[in-house]
Amino acid sequence: MVPSAKVIVHQEIAPALSDAMPTCGTPPAIAILCHGGGGGSTHAAMNLAAALDRRGRRVVLATLGRPLWPVPAGLDHIVIGRGGGGGTGRLDTGWDEAALDGMARAVARLCRRTAIDILHYHYALPFAAVAARVQGWLGADAPALVATLHGSDVTAIARNPGLGRPLAAAAAVSTVSLPYARMLAAATGMPEPAVVPNFLPAAPAARPRPPVRRLVPTIIHVSSFRPVKDTRAVARIFLAIRRQVRCRLVLVGDGPDRRGMRQLLRARAGDVSLSGFRRDVAALLRAADLMLLASRAESFGLAALEAMAAGVPVVAPRVGGLPAVVGDGVGGRLFHPGRHADATARAVALLLAPIHRRRMADRARRRAATFSEERAIAGYDRLYALALARTPAVAG
């Protein structure tokens, strides 16, 4: 069992995380460490690095492999090694000691060369073990460690709590939703970590899109096509919807289950578009009428949040962090996991009621706006301040 020591910052929910970093003195230098590829934790970590950079913070983004998301211009970025998964939706977690040492050496060199004060890693596997090695090697010169867990790393630790032992080296730990904070605490014996939800980057205010009268409404699904996303269920639900309402399905992303999903949809191939990984997801969302998710587990639901921000209602299962993001009847409709007939009924009802759908689209935008960049940065700033205070060599 992981020690329930002082290293975890306990907060009930994100709104309590409102204190900002002290403004006196030189701002700390922060390294954001994450996987490459196109996963949700990568997207969230890059959003954070870019937001800090826009605020004039000293920040460098370090990725294990190249990210598929574009790195913002002007943001310092270093690739520390070859990542597992790339754009395939597969994430390698079987790191041997030599691989962990190689990553740790690269991160330690980065910390020395750029005088990093805070090393903030996103996703515990393998970065908790990497960061613990860096701390052990650098000793008094080591940066304060901050950990953010995103989803499948929490469920992996819940299945095997020993994987969480390296988290004890962190001065502050957070997750992106309250259910996953509680899952981590129950599995490891740690106090509940802080909860700082994901966010959408600040953008200039845009006019809501005018109502579009489409002869054939579009359902969109965005994911990594891993088994946890249950894309086969998405296919079955779409086929059930299509028997009642003429519509089309746009699938965005790539991963191990994509081929099986395509086979299930062969009978309706003319109604289905498989787009693969796309960087212009926002443009695809603006052309959609409904997002459909069927995940077996979902720590947060960044794809749902992006859809809501674009004015696209979401039909999704009541799992993990999705209820807190969507809000049943606010940003979309929720169904109990596995009840695909209920999912079908909720989607059909929205597709057949365009006026109701437009009203829900407006509510979805307003709800998405509450997951703001400012709110998240305030939460992380408090974690950074507490981590520095708990790491005397850095604080001094």
Judgement on whether residues 121 and 248 belong to the same structural domain of the protein: no
Residue with tokens 């090393």: 119
Judgement on whether residues 158 and 270 belong to the same structural domain of the protein: no
Q: What is the model's pLDDT at position 267?
A: 82
CA R_g for the chain: 21
Judgement on whether residues 364 and 234 belong to the same structural domain of the protein: yes
Q: What is the model's pLDDT at position 12?
A: 34
Q: For residue 362, tell me if it sits in a domain.
A: yes
What is the token pair recorded at 211? 């109502």
The three-state secondary structure class of 324 is: helix
Q: Which CATH number characterizes residue 353's domain?
A: 3.40.50.2000
Judgement on whether residues 381 and 334 belong to the same structural domain of the protein: no
Judgement on whether residues 384 and 351 belong to the same structural domain of the protein: no
Q: For residue 18, tell me if it sits in a domain.
A: no
Judgement on whether residues 51 and 193 belong to the same structural domain of the protein: yes
What is the token pair recorded at 222? 């965005």
Q: For residue 174, tell me if it sits in a domain.
A: yes
Judgement on whether residues 195 and 285 belong to the same structural domain of the protein: no
Q: What is the model's pLDDT at position 20?
A: 44
Domain coverage including residue 181? 30-86+96-202+373-390
**Per-block average pLDDT, block size 10, for the chain (396 residues)?**
35 38 71 92 95 96 92 93 53 76 96 97 96 96 97 94 95 97 95 95 60 80 94 96 96 91 87 89 94 96 96 97 97 97 98 96 96 96 95 65
Helices 97-113 and 124-138, axial angle in degrees (round to 10): 60
The three-state secondary structure class of 298 is: coil
Q: For residue 8, tell me if it sits in a domain.
A: no
Residue 392, burial from CB neighbour count under 10 angstroms (0-12, 13-18, 19+) = exposed
Judgement on whether residues 361 and 224 belong to the same structural domain of the protein: yes
State the CB neighbour count (10 A cutoff) for residue 178.
Answer: 17
Judgement on whether residues 184 and 230 belong to the same structural domain of the protein: no
Q: What is the model's pLDDT at position 83?
A: 62
Tell which residue, 15, 25, 21, has the closest CA to residue 55. 21
State the CB neighbour count (10 A cutoff) for residue 369.
Answer: 12
Tell which residue, 106, 114, 120, 109, has the closest CA to residue 52. 120
Judgement on whether residues 135 and 104 belong to the same structural domain of the protein: yes
Judgement on whether residues 144 and 239 belong to the same structural domain of the protein: no
Q: What is the model's pLDDT at position 9?
A: 34
Judgement on whether residues 265 and 364 belong to the same structural domain of the protein: yes
Domain count of the chain? 2
Between vectors from CA 367 to CA 363 and to CA 372, what angle results, nearest 5°?
145
Q: What is the model's pLDDT at position 7?
A: 33
Q: What is the model's pLDDT at position 203?
A: 64
